[in-house]
Amino acid sequence: MAERQELKVVGRPLPRVDAAAKVTGVAVYADDLHLPRMLHCRILRSPHPHARIVSVDATAARRIPGVKAVLTGQDLPIRFGILPVSQDERALESEKVRYVGDPVAAVAAVEEEIAEAALRSIRVEYELLQPVMSIEEALQEPPDEPIHDRAYTRQPANLHRRVNYEFGDLEAGFAAADHVREDVFFFQGNTHLPMEQHSAVATYVDGRLTLWSSTQVVHYVHRTLAKVLELPMNRVRVIGAVHGGGFGGKTDPFSHEIVVARLAMVTGRPVKCTLTREEVFYAHRGRHPVMMWVRTGVTRGGRITGQHWRTALDGGAYGSYGAASVFYTGTLQTVTYDIPAYKFEGVRVFTNKAPCGPKRGHGTPQPRFALELHLEKIAVDLGLDPVELKRQNFVKPFTRSVNWLRVTSCGLEECTEKVLAASGYRRRERRPGRGMGFAVSAYMSGAGTAIYWNDMPHSEVNLKVDRTGVTAFCGAMEIGQGSDSVLALVVAEELGIGPGEVRLTTADTDLTPVDLGSYSSRVTFMAGNAALEAARRMRLLLVEAVAEKMGVRGDLSEIEVGDGRVGDFSFEEACELATARFGALSSTGSYTPPRMGGPFKGSGVGPSPAYSYSACVLALEADARTGLVRVERVWIAHDVGRAINPLLVAGQVEGSVYMGLGEALMEEQAYRKGRHKWPSMLEYKSPTFVDMPEVETFIVETIDPEGPYGAKEAGQGPLLPVIPALNAALHDALGIWIDEVPVTPEKVLRALEAKSKGQPPRHGPKGFPAVDYGAPIRVEPPDPRDMRVGEELEAAFREAEGRRLC
Amino acid sequence: MLVAGGTDLYPKLKRRQFDPDTLIGLSGLEELRRVTGDARSGLRLGALVTLAEAAEHSALVQAHPGYAEAAGLVSSPPLRNVGTIGGNLCVDTRCNYYDMTYEWRESVGFCLKKDGDICLVAPGSPRCWAISSSDTAPVAIALGATVTLVGPEGERELPVSAPYRDDGIEYLAKRPFEVLVSLRLPPTDGVRTAYAKLRRRGSIDFPIAGAGVALKTDGHCVEWARLVMSGVGSHPVEAPAAGEFLAGKQLTAEVIAAAAELAAKPAKPLDNADLNHFWRKRMVRVLVEQALERAATQDQGVLGRG
Amino acid sequence: MNKFDLRLARPYAPQQFAMLNELYRDVQREALRLRVNGEDVEILVPVHKTLLEVLREDMGLTGTKHGCELGECGTCTVLVDGRPQLSCLLLPIQLGRNEITTVEGLGGTAQLTPLQQAFAELGAAQCGYCTPAMLLAATSLLRQEPKPTRQTIREALAGNLCRCTGYVKIVEAVELAAERTRHG
Ligand SMILES: Cc1cc2nc3c(=O)[nH]c(=O)nc-3n(C[C@H](O)[C@H](O)[C@H](O)COP(=O)(O)OP(=O)(O)OC[C@H]3O[C@@H](n4cnc5c(N)ncnc54)[C@H](O)[C@@H]3O)c2cc1C
Ligand code: SF4
Ligand code: FES
Ligand code: FES
């Protein structure tokens, strides 16, 4: 986008547009809605990890006074799922249950307690099946029957997805190496734990369904409701209530959203369902547990010659985003490091656990943890400084990776410089028990392809201007990350007014044009670009009208827009002039990422119009006697392209560091006896105020050529380097490797014990399971300087067709 | 059932770990909110004194800093503003198969402590191994404090340790309607106290092990010492052997280490609380050492992130 | 001594369903007088309802949020006589004359308190869900300790979880508000 000389509101640390509502408690979240005659819904969930449903008898429940409706699986038979390839869920199961917490029946009653009590009168007869609770088990043939039908699986029968790609000549890559190293790692699953429990309220009036929900993506909920309830899309309205935190956990359409909608249709009354905290743990869609094996060849000097990955993801009971997640464990390694030959094999299996899905960093924190630690180990092998080893392999800006990912602006070097300088990493005191670790990462500014295949824009914005002022309409969902503020800032900047003067209507499918929602860090980039386009068009209308009045012809650039003025007129006057001149004023903007991926099937996962970069140094103290680790300080630098609002960016970075530390040290979605070990906020450990170290944040701006004002993402990337930086620091402090997340004190002691016995000084998985990954899809790497996208790229592929083996 | 602050009981009622017909709230008993006495004469704390009040009470902090510190380490600030010292002594034993919702417990199968007939932690065992989790009991017992119970049959004063039983279910040998009305802490008289607590996070969490120490020295050597641990059994576990060992010795690093070794022996953590139980067992020694060191220097602070 | 009946803890065995109607019609209700945000309010509520539920459902004070309803997250914090307490574990029947303050009792949109102002300015509220509780806990802290250190702030707020901010901006906002209050 064209660079403008002077930015008025963009780049300034302005308060969020929703700040006052949030600090006064007037913001209305989904569970705060209370509609006249509203009924309360509770959902009966499976107590068994794996069972066939023999019968469901809800007669007693229906007779309970105060109960207005009861639903069972028969009432909602149509399957759904976030990805078109994984339509494997039902709002209420009627055939079998696949994890403890799988929904089976629902009640709407005049009081929540009555609904709850009524659930207990529903008799469900189950035929128990052997549960499958680990990746290893799921890779065997199932003990009695597969978790899903053949339609959703491969061989062995609990295998959900398999991918296998080879980019460039791996054999040659390893042949060119002076040193080859293999490691195995395990990353335990964890969950988002938003402070707000999921909640949804539905009404059905005049044949129209309205649903308020704490969702991250109104559009996907909209599509799912229409499908499962068999309603035309124009009869369904989904409104995003003020959102109490998602982190990826509210990106799928959920059973309770569908259930309250159906109950509202059945009863003709508003119906609300708010999940209990325990149910939130079952709704999950959190971080996949992943086993990883990685092999890398390097030259004596530390230059990477080839890399080979194997991953195995524990997907839990349903597909969710899993078909994409498995790709993400293999695609983004090449966006930080220049790897000339690269192979990636991955599988995702079904197990009888709550379904995994996208959590902050979706599929990439696990391999990032493994990769950074693996490179640390290689540096030790070669006697090189790990920072220098990593650094010489950094990707260069404006290059294309071996797996066809187009890297544009890249602030890896600047980020690295910043954190090294601030932390004094090089001058650090070397003393047992104290250590520093360094790691880098990259993340997407929005996925380059939509979840369901289509050619439409990923984000659309409408602007309405009239004599009362400006309103922006956008389907994007404010989930705390500040997307509303970004929209207001972009529109305000272009129209030369204050952000407070921009009225916003967001995330309401009746009123706002489609946006694919708040996930994969896409909103600032995509909705920002759409808003920019709409605002520039509107600005032109205002300028034209003013120019006419001022008698300016030809070059309109001398008409200045800013500080509430358009040329010689106030902004309000300009609006009136333009309305008088053109009639009702509206403008639209949209953003469609160009095709960026390579010429092979599966190339849709990984490409993004821009990647953010982060570097992190972490200092800690570790006690060799107890194994306890205390993080002292974190320095983090993040290349956000441009900070449209530095306050929001810093907030996202700090929140990411927090979540990364939680994952590194304590958060664990653990299972025991077939069920979640501790579905409570007391036992699932989320760091408190006193567990959080000081964080020093540096914002690096590289002004991305395609981001709005040069902006890229900030909400997810900075989580990634924190985890490996911690493990690297632990090695610095105690000379041990913890090849597993989370790092508990017990694991530290085990590694120290191994060390003292002369065994490899590590704790982590012993090996990687045997997996049949099938034959790879071989892909010829691109010319690293080939920056073509969109039509140009497509044309090149067409031309190459037949000549190139893909 | 009696309820004071309700911070222990109410979550359990919501999870249906108890189903009493009647709850009797003690909160109206103003006279149980008082702290009387001083370091010289000993202090009497009414049972309804909140943990926050106890942690901040200047005479108490002066007299028995270890006790005040323990009170200040219970869960989190808003809970300490409501939770009482009486409730803390009577706090239910814990187990992560038991402190779960009704639905969860039903799903995994009810256990001995509530609604079921086996122990899920130790399936062969005829008894319940739920963990004594009071932060304040160890120091109170180590100090030789006493409690006054008032019931339909009158009033009695007992050592704090007396009502505890080594049973995860019937963990208090108190008659159902006996009210704990006060805790009497002895005069300071040169006695030093300290408490070390282990938990994953620096706030909110229950102790997964704790060590309370009271000792008196003659300036050089230990006259007497008492060590009591929480989180390692179904009752606050005393380590008399360690106490006897310390008597007559100087508190050198070696002596402290040896005492801690002895103290840790009776600790028997099981796999029913946060973090690995073998590790917890190893940590007991460290905690006892820390408590002893701190009592020796009468220092403040807690272990690790605790 | 408050003596009351409490039915919410009952497990519902199948044979009890016939009684359910009765159970809910005949729940013991109590007319209570609460002092909330400086106003006396009279309400008739089932005795087992928590303060959290009464505030949100009977009084429309939905600024008080919840994240667990079991005392584990701090999101439901209100002030009782100026001290932070967890409304999900309080029964109004035990409160009587105590002064209850919710977020609605701080400044309104028209005149934010210095803490609210600082939270807004520094971006200490992201999703904002933990914010009412944080503000109340911090209000209580600053009343007792106008010049808190970072460590004091962290300790005072340690019962309140936030998943968005990493606490960094919250600590900074409390510091800023403290400073402004001292100098203004
Ligand atoms: C999230 C969370 C974290 C916690 N963390 C800790 C922790 O770290 N350490 C810790 O020790 N505790 C912890 N607790 C438990 C509890 O908050 C404290 O133990 C508190 O001191 C209990 O006091 P209370 O007045 O609220 O007890 P209540 O809940 O009122 O009562 C607890 C039990 O004692 C009985 N009782 C209470 N008072 C009397 C009396 N005067 N006479 C006779 N019986 C009585 C009750 O009948 C009940 O059985 C935690 C609780 C929660 C919810
Ligand atoms: S120790 Fe055994 S019986 Fe006791 S609560 Fe735990 S599982 Fe139940
Ligand atoms: S709602 Fe979590 S502590 Fe009250
Ligand atoms: S701002 Fe979202 S939980 Fe704190």
Instruction: Dump the DSSP string for A736-805.
Output: -EE-EES--HHHHHHHHHHHHTTS-SEES-S--------SPEEEPPPPTT----HHHHHHHHHHHBTTB-
**Domain end point (choices B185, B213, B229):** B185
Q: Report the amino acid identity of residue C54.
A: V
pLDDT of residue C9 exceeding 50: no
What are the C-alpha distances in Å from B196 to residues A186, B73, C127? 33, 9, 37
Query: Closest ligand 4 atom, CA of C163?
Result: 3
Phi, psi of A604 (to 5 degrees): -75, -20
Residues B149 and B45 in one domain: yes
* Binding-face residues of C in 59-78 toward A, CB within 8 A: 60-70, 72-73, 75
Q: Is B210 in the pocket of ligand 1 (CB under 6 A)?
A: no
pLDDT of residue C15 exceeding 50: no
Q: How many CB pairs under 8 A join A and C?
A: 204
Q: What pLDDT, on the 0 to 100 scale, is given for residue A450? A: 87
What's the mean per-residue pLDDT of chain C?
A: 87
Alpha carbon distance A110, A112 (integer Å): 7
Q: Is C128 in the pocket of ligand 4 (CB under 6 A)?
A: yes
What per-residue string of b and e applies to B69-108 under the rule 16 or more CB within 10 Å gives b? Answer: bbbbbbbbbbbbbbbbbbbbbbbbbbbbbbbbbbbbbbbb
Residues B175 and B244 in one domain: no
- Chain B residues closer than 8 Å to A51 by CB: none
Residues B262 and B296 in one domain: yes
Task: Say yes or no: B200 contacts chain C, CB-CB below 8 A.
Answer: no
Return the DSSP state at A527: I
In a domain, A490, yes or no: yes
Q: Are A189 and A286 in contact (CB under 8 A)?
A: yes
Q: Are A329 and A313 in contact (CB under 8 A)?
A: yes
CATH of the domain at B205: 3.30.390.50
Q: Is B215 in the pocket of ligand 1 (CB under 6 A)?
A: no
Q: Are A345 and A289 in contact (CB under 8 A)?
A: no
Q: What pLDDT, on the 0 to 100 scale, is given for residue A628? A: 97
Q: What pLDDT, on the 0 to 100 scale, is given for residue B297? A: 83
If you measure from the C-alpha of residue A627 to the centroid of ligand 2, how many angstroms do you get, rounded to a whole number?
A: 28
Query: Closest ligand 2 atom, CA of B120?
Result: 7
Residues A95 and A205 in one domain: yes
Q: Is B199 in the pocket of ligand 2 (CB under 6 A)?
A: no
The distance of C119 to chain A (nearest Cα, Å) reads: 7
pLDDT of residue B255 exceeding 80: yes
**Domain end point (choices B185, B201, B218):** B185
Residues A359 and A308 in one domain: yes
The distance of B81 to chain C (nearest Cα, Å) reads: 6
CATH of the domain at B169: 3.30.465.10
Q: How many domains does chain B have?
A: 2
If you measure from the C-alpha of residue C69 to the centroid of ligand 3, how many angstroms do you get, rounded to a whole number?
A: 4
Q: Which one is predicted more confidently, B152 or A800?
A: B152
Residues A235 and A108 in one domain: yes
Residues B165 and B273 in one domain: no
In a domain, A157, yes or no: no
Give the pLDDT confidence of C62-101 residue by residue, as tens digits. Answer: 999 999 999 999 999 999 999 999 999 999 988 878 999 9
Residues B67 and B203 in one domain: no
pLDDT of residue C23 exceeding 70: no
Query: Closest ligand 4 atom, CA of A22?
Result: 1
Residues B34 and B172 in one domain: yes
Nearest Cα residue to A56 out of A80, A40, A75, A41: A75
Q: Are A434 and A619 in contact (CB under 8 A)?
A: yes
* Binding-face residues of C in 33-62 toward A, CB within 8 A: 56-57, 60-62
CATH of the domain at A110: 3.90.1170.50
Chain B residues in contact with chain A using a Cβ-Cβ cutoff of 8 Å: 76, 96, 99-101, 103-104, 106-108, 120, 200-206, 274-276, 278-279, 282-283, 286, 303-305
Query: Closest ligand 3 atom, CA of C77?
Result: 4
Q: State the residue range of the domain holding A343.
A: 290-449+599-763
Task: Say yes or no: C122 contacts chain A, CB-CB below 8 A.
Answer: yes
User: H-helix or E-strand containing A297?
Assistant: strand A290-298
- Given an 8 Å threshold on Cβ–Cβ distance, is A630 in contact with B305? yes
Tokens in use for B74?
A: 């219970």
Got the DSSP string for A386-420? HHHHHHHHBPPSSEE-TT--EE-S--HHHHHHHHH
Residues B141 and B247 in one domain: no
Question: Considering every ligand atom, which ligand is closest to the CA of B138?
Answer: 1
Nearest CB among B100, B204, B283 relative to A626 is that of: B283
CATH of the domain at A398: 3.30.365.10
Q: What pLDDT, on the 0 to 100 scale, is given for residue B77? A: 98
Alpha carbon distance C175, A283 (integer Å): 37
**Strand B179-185 relative to strand B154-159: parallel, antiparallel, unpaired?**
unpaired
Give the pLDDT confidence of B104-137 residue by residue, as tens digits. Answer: 999 999 999 999 999 999 999 999 999 999 999 9
Q: What pLDDT, on the 0 to 100 scale, is given for residue B262? A: 96
The side-by-side arrangement of strands in the sheet containing B2-3 is: B2-3, B22-25, C2-5
Q: How many domains does chain A have?
A: 3
A583: left (phi over 0), alpha (psi -120 to 50) or beta: left
Pick from A306-310, A486-490, B2-6, C91-95: least confident:
C91-95
Residues A445 and A520 in one domain: no
Residues B222 and B177 in one domain: no
Residues A402 and A500 in one domain: no
Which chain C residue's Cα is nearest to B103? C11
If you measure from the C-alpha of residue A479 to the centroid of ligand 4, how many angstroms do you get, rounded to a whole number?
A: 10
Give the pLDDT confidence of A790-799 residue by residue, as tens digits. Answer: 999 888 888 8
Q: What is the mean pLDDT of residues B185-199?
A: 96
Q: Is C143 in the pocket of ligand 4 (CB under 6 A)?
A: no
**Domain end point (choices B138, B162, B185):** B185
Percent of chain A exceeding pLDDT 90 equals 91
Which chain A residue's Cα is nearest to B303? A628
Q: Is C90 in the pocket of ligand 3 (CB under 6 A)?
A: no
In a domain, A786, yes or no: no
Q: What is the mean pLDDT of residues A331-340?
A: 97
Alpha helices in A217-350 (DSSP H): 218-229, 255-267, 277-283, 322-331
Residues making up chain A, counted from first to last: 806
Q: What pLDDT, on the 0 to 100 scale, is given for residue C28? A: 77
SS3 A118: helix
The distance of B139 to chain C (nearest Cα, Å) reads: 23
Q: Which residue in the block uniquely carries the two structure tokens 């105590």?
A: C98
Alpha carbon distance A620, A685 (integer Å): 20
Please state the pTM of the whole predicted model. 0.96
In a domain, A803, yes or no: no
In a domain, A343, yes or no: yes
Question: Which of B107, B112, B166, B170 has most ligand 2 atoms within 8 Å of CB, for mutation?
Answer: B112
Alpha carbon distance A261, A247 (integer Å): 24
Give the pLDDT confidence of A174-228 residue by residue, as tens digits. Answer: 999 999 999 999 999 999 999 999 999 999 999 999 999 999 999 999 999 999 9
In a domain, A440, yes or no: yes
Residues B54 and B153 in one domain: yes
In a domain, A188, yes or no: no
pLDDT of residue B165 exceeding 80: yes
The distance of A63 to chain C (nearest Cα, Å) reads: 9
Residues A624 and A583 in one domain: no
Q: What domains lie within chain C, and their CATH numbers?
A: 26-105 (3.10.20.30), 114-183 (1.10.150.120)
Can the peptide bond before residue A156 be classed as cis, meaning omega within 30 degrees of 0? yes
Which chain B residue's Cα is nearest to C3? B24
- Chain C residues closer than 8 Å to A242 by CB: 128
Residues B21 and B157 in one domain: yes
Which chain A residue's Cα is nearest to C22? A65
Nearest Cα residue to A250 out of A293, A221, A207, A288: A221
Nearest CB among A276, A666, A690 relative to B203 is that of: A690
Q: Is B97 in the pocket of ligand 2 (CB under 6 A)?
A: yes
How would residue C24 be classed by pLDDT, with cut points 50, 70 and 90?
Answer: low
pLDDT of residue C2 exceeding 50: no
Q: Are A425 and A436 in contact (CB under 8 A)?
A: yes
- Given an 8 Å threshold on Cβ–Cβ distance, is C11 in contact with B13? no
Tokens in use for A37?
A: 């005659």
Percent of chain B exceeding pLDDT 70 equals 97
Name every residue whose Cβ is closer than 8 Å to that of residue A642 and which is 6 or more positions away in sequence: A10, A11, A701, A703, A704, A707, A709, A710, A711, A712
What's the mean per-residue pLDDT of chain A?
A: 95
Interface test with C, best of B3, B10, B110 (most C CBs within 10 A): B10
Q: Is B55 in the pocket of ligand 1 (CB under 6 A)?
A: no
Residues A378 and A444 in one domain: yes
pLDDT of residue A536 exceeding 70: yes
Got the DSSP string for B212-240? EEEEEESSSBEEEEEEEEESSSSSPEE-H
- Given an 8 Å threshold on Cβ–Cβ distance, is B6 in contact with C11? no
- Given an 8 Å threshold on Cβ–Cβ distance, is A677 in contact with B76? no
- Chain A residues closer than 8 Å to B200 by CB: 666, 685
How would residue A469 be classed by pLDDT, with cut points 50, 70 and 90?
Answer: very high
In a domain, A775, yes or no: no
The distance of A335 to chain C (nearest Cα, Å) reads: 27
Q: What pLDDT, on the 0 to 100 scale, is given for residue A373? A: 98
Residues A468 and A417 in one domain: no
pLDDT of residue C20 exceeding 70: no
Pick from A417-421, C4-8, C175-179: least confident:
C4-8
Residues A582 and A634 in one domain: no
pLDDT of residue B302 exceeding 70: no
Residues B172 and B231 in one domain: no
Residues B36 and B145 in one domain: yes
pLDDT of residue A601 exceeding 70: yes
Pick from A143-147, A754-758, B67-71, C1-5: least confident:
C1-5
In a domain, B270, yes or no: yes
Q: State the residue range of the domain holding B210.
A: 192-303
For chain A, what is the largest distance between any 2 Cα atoms, rounded to a whole number of angstroms? Answer: 88
Nearest Cα residue to A686 out of B164, B209, C163, B165: C163
Q: What pLDDT, on the 0 to 100 scale, is given for residue A201? A: 98
Residues A99 and A205 in one domain: yes
- Given an 8 Å threshold on Cβ–Cβ distance, is A690 in contact with B305? yes
Q: Are A667 and A742 in contact (CB under 8 A)?
A: yes
Q: What pLDDT, on the 0 to 100 scale, is given for residue A70? A: 98
Q: Is B283 in the pocket of ligand 1 (CB under 6 A)?
A: no
Alpha helices in C32-167 (DSSP H): 51-53, 114-122, 131-144, 150-156
Residues A571 and A637 in one domain: no
Q: Is B47 in the pocket of ligand 2 (CB under 6 A)?
A: no
Q: Which residue in the block uniquely carries the two structure tokens 């008032």?
A: B150
Alpha carbon distance B263, C155 (integer Å): 31
Give the pLDDT confidence of B81-106 residue by residue, as tens digits. Answer: 999 999 999 999 999 999 999 999 99
Residues A713 and A640 in one domain: yes
Nearest Cα residue to A101 out of A737, A518, A674, A721: A674
Q: Is B131 in the pocket of ligand 2 (CB under 6 A)?
A: no
ipTM of the complex: 0.96
User: H-helix or E-strand containing A186?
Assistant: strand A179-187
- Given an 8 Å threshold on Cβ–Cβ distance, is A654 in contact with C165? yes
- Given an 8 Å threshold on Cβ–Cβ distance, is B304 in contact with A682? no
Question: Which of C75, C78, C134, C162 has most ligand 3 atoms within 8 Å of CB, for mutation?
Answer: C75
Alpha carbon distance A134, A674 (integer Å): 10
Give the pLDDT confidence of A497-530 residue by residue, as tens digits. Answer: 999 999 999 999 999 999 998 877 888 999 999 9
